[in-house]
Structure 1
């Protein structure tokens, strides 16, 4: 694939967007996910004359009768759209006091903004299928990013920050819930976001709902303080059970279930759980589950066997999460 890089003045790009000859959102591109803060910081970058990474374009449709054609923006949608919003004075863009509206800039600063040099890499004429492939390679798993790392690149907002804050609570480090590899690859954040979504809604399939919440609460996440306080209350109770970090209770799938069901009982239902009773009943149950694992438990289709199977394979499937949840709920509320 032959590509060429050149510089274009920002005014050329903006007027092309306005005239429809540069299409900033082909159907394969993700929707805009920058927060207002992200947009403001980026606009300041350009207004102050600092550079930003190159954008990618490709040739679009050409009218053979008139000779007029269009281009599609393969990568750089959020940057270009944000600058266009600023240029046109979009009311949805909320600017702080230290960043004037474009229309309020001094004439020379307006000219400097319009004359800003953007590095553009032209991919030339190619089919939409090839363009889709290029877009995926630029933005997703081709470089070995996992799902949370991709979402981290896409969402810098309040819900993701909340997941990070939860994952940094000392409890998780004290009980060695996450490995160093988990933390390095942001799997700790994804896990904690899963916990948060579950206590806000119900058990769901794998990570299906995470991106919905990352986008929905990207700009604002109301009631975060109350939710964080309730999470800490739940973790404090589980900590009072004094499980060994090597206990089954602290394995990811098992802890996921224990946390959610304790949260439901303590916070949502207002049940006063007895730490000593909960620990006693869980010890008895986990011992039976370990017997199933070792082939020492003979009663088929009993709760320990159902739980073990639900925690062993496809543990993140909604059905298995529900099965484990019903069993643990019954035990801790005895």
Structure 2
């Protein structure tokens, strides 16, 4: 039989979905989409659409098992996380229908209201709203579910390449990147905004550093190459623990430098500098150098980079190296050649 023969179309109410989420019989599967993404404007527009009675794109759920005694089925949410999470949060009073985001004249009666403030008939309209639902039978394999999710979202501008990788690869490489992303370092210095974290920018950046640990400074960081590396280390990653140990050492040493001054912290919170100096710290650790002995030199680098002041213990050659580094930052950050050049200049400046 074809895959489509194992997919049925049903109509399920908001109440049906909310009950199953509440009782853990509908699981929002993080192996497909890791984090909630929608902004408040998009959330308000969805609730407005429901209240006006307009249609919403289909929800896809996968029937994973059925209790033989009760007949109760458990489902995994394949596509529709943003919609269902939005409805759940609105019902739970997490946001109101901001008037500035409502798009239709008919909606003025809902302006600035929480769910609890809606008229009884409007509340019922939300509970009863019919979602067109594609139910995928348990006979469909998980790898086919992943392919389906990728096809559903490959042209969706709301999903970036890293979010699609998260759905396609659930193995060791992304597991390590996710584990490192939980380290307090990132939040302490606000390297990534909350929206960037939701869009998995942090995971992608950490993956690029892990690529350096595996492939060296000449390793690519393009989206295509990231996909290849994710695939290569998805099931077998012998260096997992060693890379984890090295990465944590690198951010621990950089943390010490960032704590010296606010200027240091601000400088390294920019990802271009963060990437370059994490690589430099790796080389310093490999050589067994005492990184604290370089604190003044690194501090002078940052001051001259920011201000070009002459009132520093810094030679003409060192000033030239800082200026060249600045040029490679301004010309672009993602190019492999520029990335290598920045690291080379830092090595020369620090004489390592």
Using the size of structure 2 for normalisation, the TM-score is 0.53
| Preserved CA contact (<8 Å) 2:63 2:76 | no
1:182 aligns with 2:200: no
CA drift at 1:281: 0.7
How many pairs does the alignment contain?
221
> For 1:195-217, what per-residue CA distance to the aligned partner results, in whole angstroms no more than 9, with x for missing partners?
11112212344434311111111
Matched residue, 2:274 = 255
Matched residue, 1:329 = 347
| Preserved CA contact (<8 Å) 1:285 1:304 | yes
- Is 165-174 or 206-215 further displaced after alignment? 206-215
Matched residue, 1:8 = 5
- Is 176-185 or 140-149 further displaced after alignment? 140-149
- Distance, in Å, in 1 between the alignment partners of 2:290 and 2:140 is 54
Q: Helix, strand or coil for the counterpart of 2:275?
A: helix
- Distance, in Å, in 2 between the alignment partners of 1:281 and 1:218 is 40
| Preserved CA contact (<8 Å) 1:257 1:325 | yes
Stretches of structure 2 lacking an aligned partner (at least 5 in a row): 8-30, 32-61, 79-135, 310-315
**CA separation of 1:184 and 1:239: change in aligned 2, threshold 3 A:** same
CA drift at 1:324: 0.8
| Preserved CA contact (<8 Å) 1:278 1:331 | no
Matched residue, 1:157 = 171
**CA separation of 1:283 and 1:81: change in aligned 2, threshold 3 A:** same
CA drift at 1:330: 2.7
Superposed CA RMSD in Å reads 3.8
**Within 5 Å, which residues of 2 pair with 1:1-334?**
8=5, 45=65, 138-203=152-217, 204-208=219-223, 209-241=225-257, 242-243=259-260, 244=262, 246-266=265-285, 269-275=286-292, 277-291=293-307, 302-333=320-351
CA drift at 1:258: 0.3
- Distance, in Å, in 1 between the alignment partners of 2:272 and 2:143 is 45
Using the size of structure 1 for normalisation, the TM-score is 0.56
Q: Helix, strand or coil for the counterpart of 1:219?
A: coil
Q: Helix, strand or coil for the counterpart of 2:323?
A: helix
| Preserved CA contact (<8 Å) 2:209 2:275 | yes
What stretches of structure 1 move > 4 A for 4+ residues in a row?
42-54, 79-84, 134-137
Stretches of structure 1 lacking an aligned partner (at least 5 in a row): 1-5, 11-33, 35-41, 55-75, 85-117, 119-133, 294-298
- Distance, in Å, in 1 between the alignment partners of 2:143 and 2:340 is 46
**CA separation of 1:195 and 1:136: change in aligned 2, threshold 3 A:** closer
